[in-house]
């Protein structure tokens, strides 16, 4: 897919791929992705507890060396520590 070409060829630039559809990520990456491009951070957004519980339980298996997650446009309080504490080194 042509959308990946700039990220594939620009190792001197840091890029970000943010998605609410982390469950589809593996089906959309290019064949040479392996465990991610070294210059691309994959992000998973959540907006409420139900989506945090679902998406962040899938997120650790996402094929990427660099990952971030964040709550965006929250509809209510979101607690992700119980999910992420099993798979990440640092939670802020």
Which tokens is 64 given? 């990427």
How open is the CA angle 40-50-34, to the nearest 5 degrees? 25
pLDDT value, residue 27: 92
DSSP 79: -
H or E stretch covering 19: strand 15-19
- What is the C-alpha to C-alpha distance for residues 78 and 76, in angstroms, rounded to an integer? 6
- Decide: pTM greater than 0.85: no
How is the chain split into domains, by residue range? Answer: 15-22+39-91
pLDDT value, residue 92: 46
Q: Choose between 74 and 12: higher pLDDT.
A: 12
User: For residue range 16-64, what is the model confidence (pLDDT) as tens digits?
Assistant: 888 989 999 999 899 999 988 888 889 888 888 898 899 988 888 888 8
pLDDT of residue 75 exceeding 90, the answer is no
Q: What is the dihedral of CA 38, 34, 43, 87, to 10 degrees?
A: -100
């Amino acid at each position: 897919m042509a959308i990946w070409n700039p990220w594939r060829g620009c190792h001197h630039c840091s890029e970000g791929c943010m998605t609410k559809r982390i469950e589809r990520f593996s089906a959309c990456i290019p064949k040479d992705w392996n465990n991610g491009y070294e210059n691309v951070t994959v992000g998973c957004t959540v907006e409420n507890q139900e989506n945090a519980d679902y998406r962040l339980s899938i997120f650790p298996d996402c094929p990427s060396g660099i990952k971030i997650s964040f709550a965006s446009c929250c509809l209510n309080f979101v607690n992700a520590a119980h999910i992420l504490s099993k798979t990440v080194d640092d939670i802020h």
